[in-house]
């Protein structure tokens, strides 16, 4: 098996049963904020598009799904391996580009093409990417790889039942807007950024140890921010800006200290891997080793050089945006679009629990989630507030963009503030701006309310499934001496003494100390009818 790195999460997998083009991305994404790091424009994209037999797009995030590249270079009769998602948004995106030869994969089912075995494992929770993320398992009899990209699978037994993994490709520097866009003092931002990087690192290491592959390739991050207003947010940040983006070399150095049994390798554009079982050769064919060393040793110098040469791409993206709508017209459009969706989103409305203020250019409005109404801001106190450029919102209205996390939020071209904890339901609603997505997500949240199975973890009895994304807490949960449980997948925390979630509002957990059953029984009613 031969794997060529295409940048970020992109790879070209040559196997005994055909070639797979996975997550190719080259054009700036998220309103021109994200660029692949390092620069991958000089790769032979025509060759990869021409020689691919299968196309795999893991999910709709635009650093994995690049419509321009697919339309320009990839044959429209290629076999598309479509993840099994609850809504058909990705399928419709691909069909609009002309792809019709679609294989509908099923979770846990292996597709065979001669000696080639393929399995696509989807995740379907509202917090999984743009309502859906997936991983790709490939085995052609010569080697077996797992391309996990951004996905955070809960059922590792099912995933690893595909077979022993020889080479493992995984996200290590997750992309989010927290805490960079928040209205916080610099010291608080720096502290929160450190905690976020630590949580991302722990999660990556959790999966590396569970997958237990001899060769590890960190990928799917970090991007480059080349806009003048964002460049200081690269890496760990500079000039009183903060960042959460560990790079490949930094991650591999720490991994070597913590888990020396695994061989870590730099995976960037032009990295070529030859695999025969666990026997491996790795060669850098696009960048010389001296160039790679300089790019990571003098990363700010490399970023500044990239910024200087790529401003036209940023200007072209800005020019493509919609004409800014007048405030009254913008609010009318949002009312017509959002209010019917809010009426269907009872669980999310209750979870938000109050008005959210949006300042969009000259428009100052409130989305009153409990009442499912949008109106002008009248000076009332709001626990959550957004300031978003009017051209971004106007463009999303023009394009009918149903996922604002996959456009505005990941662009980091906005500001926000809150009083109190993070509220997952606000951001979930704003990635569910279609009837199909709202109905699926409401049903998903409704199903999570039934958490009947308990398990013993240390000195505690806790509901087995995490209230966030239903991970098995006997495998992902750790409890400290104060009775605080942490789920390692997303670093959410609960105080088991009270059952309250420390990370966000809502999402309580059922728990008690082992030995407290007698106390609970003694205080319980003798007959349910007495309740």
Query: Domain tally for the chain?
Result: 3
Residues 337 and 475 in one domain: no
List, for residues 257-288, the tens digit of each pLDDT value.
999 999 999 999 999 999 999 899 999 999 99
Q: Please tell me the predicted confidence (pLDDT) of residue 517.
A: 57
Which residues are bridge partners to 90 per DSSP?
none
Q: Please tell me the predicted confidence (pLDDT) of residue 531.
A: 31
Residue 317's region, left for phi above 0, alpha for psi from -120 to 50, else beta, is: alpha
Domain end call among 268, 288, 314: 314
Residues 298 and 397 in one domain: no
pTM attached to this predicted model: 0.87
Where would I find the H helices in 74-231?
A: 89-96, 156-160, 186-211
Residues 58 and 195 in one domain: yes
Which residues are bridge partners to 439 per DSSP?
none
Residues 392 and 421 in one domain: yes
Residues 362 and 499 in one domain: no
Residue 522: pLDDT over 50: no
Confidence band, pLDDT 50/70/90 cuts, at residue 449: low
Q: What is the largest CA-CA distance in the chain?
A: 77
List, for residues 414-442, the tens digit of each pLDDT value.
999 999 889 999 999 999 999 999 999 99
CATH of the domain at 457: 2.102.10
Strands 279-284 and 271-276 turn out to be antiparallel
Q: Please tell me the predicted confidence (pLDDT) of residue 475.
A: 81
Domain that holds residue 348: 327-428
Q: Which residue has the higher pLDDT, 183 or 489?
A: 183
CB contact at 8 A, 310 and 226? yes
Least Cα distance to 339 among 362, 315, 316, 368 occurs for 368
Q: Is residue 442 part of a domain?
A: no
Residues 414 and 518 in one domain: no
**Residues for the chain: how many in total?**
531
Least Cα distance to 285 among 303, 267, 297, 263 occurs for 267
Q: Is residue 354 part of a domain?
A: yes
CATH of the domain at 372: 3.30.1050.10
Q: Is residue 422 part of a domain?
A: yes
Percentage of the chain beyond pLDDT 90 is 82
Collapsing DSSP to helix, strand or coil, 236 comes out as coil
Sign of the Cα torsion 113, 117, 119, 120 reads negative
Residues 378 and 282 in one domain: no
Q: How many CB atoms lie within 10 A of CB 360?
A: 23
Q: How many CB atoms lie within 10 A of CB 41?
A: 13
Residue 31: C-alpha distances to residues 35, 128, 135, 393, 397 (Å): 11, 21, 26, 11, 14
Q: Is residue 438 part of a domain?
A: no
Residues 310 and 334 in one domain: no
Confidence band, pLDDT 50/70/90 cuts, at residue 465: confident
The stretch 28-38 carries a mean pLDDT of 98
Residues 48 and 152 in one domain: yes
CB contact at 8 A, 76 and 43? no
Q: How far apart are the first and last CA of the chain?
A: 64
List, for residues 185-244, the tens digit of each pLDDT value.
999 999 999 999 999 999 999 999 999 999 999 999 899 999 999 999 999 999 999 999
Q: Please tell me the predicted confidence (pLDDT) of residue 454.
A: 86
Q: Is residue 439 part of a domain?
A: no
Q: Is residue 321 part of a domain?
A: no
Residues 43 and 185 in one domain: yes
| Residues whose CB is less than 8 angstroms from the CB of residue 195 and which lie 6 or more positions away in sequence, other chains included | none
Residues 387 and 467 in one domain: no
List, for residues 334-389, the tens digit of each pLDDT value.
999 999 999 999 999 999 999 999 999 999 999 999 999 999 999 999 999 999 99
Confidence band, pLDDT 50/70/90 cuts, at residue 506: confident
Least Cα distance to 235 among 217, 250, 255 occurs for 250
Task: Share the mean pLDDT of the chain.
Answer: 93
Q: Is residue 395 part of a domain?
A: yes
Tokens of 340: 């019917």
Q: Please tell me the predicted confidence (pLDDT) of residue 491.
A: 80
CATH of the domain at 135: 3.60.15.10
Q: Please tell me the predicted confidence (pLDDT) of residue 451.
A: 60
Strands (E), 413-472: 415-418, 454-457, 460-463
Residues 367 and 499 in one domain: no
Q: Is residue 322 part of a domain?
A: no
Domain end call among 259, 289, 314: 314
Domain end call among 314, 346, 381: 314
Confidence band, pLDDT 50/70/90 cuts, at residue 527: very low
Confidence band, pLDDT 50/70/90 cuts, at residue 40: very high
Confidence band, pLDDT 50/70/90 cuts, at residue 447: confident
Which residues are bridge partners to 138 per DSSP?
118, 145
């Amino acid at each position: 098996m031969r794997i060529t790195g295409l940048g970020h999460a992109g790879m070209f997998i040559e196997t005994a049963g055909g070639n797979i083009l996975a997550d190719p991305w080259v054009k700036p994404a998220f309103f021109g904020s994200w660029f692949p790091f390092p620069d991958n424009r000089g790769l032979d994209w025509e060759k990869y598009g021409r020689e691919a037999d299968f196309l795999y797009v893991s999910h709709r995030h635009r650093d994995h799904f690049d419509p321009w590249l697919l339309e320009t270079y990839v044959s429209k009769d290629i076999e598309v391996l479509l993840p099994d998602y609850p809504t058909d948004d990705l399928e419709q995106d691909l069909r609009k580009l002309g792809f019709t030869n679609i294989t509908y994969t099923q979770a846990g089912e292996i597709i065979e093409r001669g000696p080639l075995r393929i399995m696509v494992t989807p995740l379907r929770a509202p917090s999984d990417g743009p309502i859906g993320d997936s991983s790709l398992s490939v085995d052609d009899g010569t080697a077996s790889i797992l391309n996990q990209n951004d996905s955070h699978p809960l059922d590792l037994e099912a995933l690893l039942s595909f077979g022993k993994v020889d080479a493992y490709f995984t996200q290590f520097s997750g992309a989010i807007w927290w805490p960079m866009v928040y209205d916080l003092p610099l010291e608080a931002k720096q502290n929160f950024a450190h905690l976020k990087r630590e949580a991302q690192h722990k999660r990556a290491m959790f999966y590396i140890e569970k997958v237990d592959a001899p060769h590890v390739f960190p990928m799917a991050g970090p991007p480059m921010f080349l806009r003048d207003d964002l460049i200081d947010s690269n890496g760990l940040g500079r000039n009183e800006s903060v960042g959460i983006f560990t790079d490949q070399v930094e991650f591999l150095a720490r991994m070597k200290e913590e888990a020396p049994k695994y061989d870590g390798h730099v995976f960037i554009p032009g990295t070529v891997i030859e695999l025969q079982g666990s026997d491996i050769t790795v060669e850098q064919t696009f960048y010389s080793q001296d160039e790679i060393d300089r790019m990571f040793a003098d990363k700010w110098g490399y970023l500044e050089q990239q910024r200087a040469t790529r401003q036209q791409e940023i200007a072209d993206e800005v020019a493509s945006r919609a004409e800014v709508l007048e405030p009254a017209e913008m609010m009318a459009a949002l009312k017509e679009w959002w209010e019917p969706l809010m009426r269907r989103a009872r669980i999310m409305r209750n979870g938000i629990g109050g008005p959210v203020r949006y300042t969009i250019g000259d428009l100052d409005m409130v989305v009153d989630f409990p009442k499912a109404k949008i109106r002008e801001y009248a000076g009332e106190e709001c626990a959550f507030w957004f300031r978003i450029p009017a051209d971004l919102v106007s463009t999303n209205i023009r394009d009918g963009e149903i996922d604002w996390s996959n456009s505005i939020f990941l662009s980091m071209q906005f500001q926000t503030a809150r009083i109190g904890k993070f509220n997952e339901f606000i951001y979930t609603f704003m990635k569910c701006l279609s009837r199909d997505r709202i109905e699926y997500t409401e049903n998903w949240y409704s199903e999570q309310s039934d958490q009947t199975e308990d398990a013993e973890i240390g000195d505690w009895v806790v509901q087995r499934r995490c209230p966030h994304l239903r991970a098995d807490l006997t495998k992902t949960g750790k409890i400290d001496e104060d009775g605080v449980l942490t789920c390692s997948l997303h670093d959410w925390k609960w105080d088991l003494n009270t059952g309250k979630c420390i990370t966000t509002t809502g999402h309580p957990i059922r728990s008690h100390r082992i030995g407290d059953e007698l106390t609970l029984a003694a205080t319980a009613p003798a007959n349910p009818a007495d309740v």
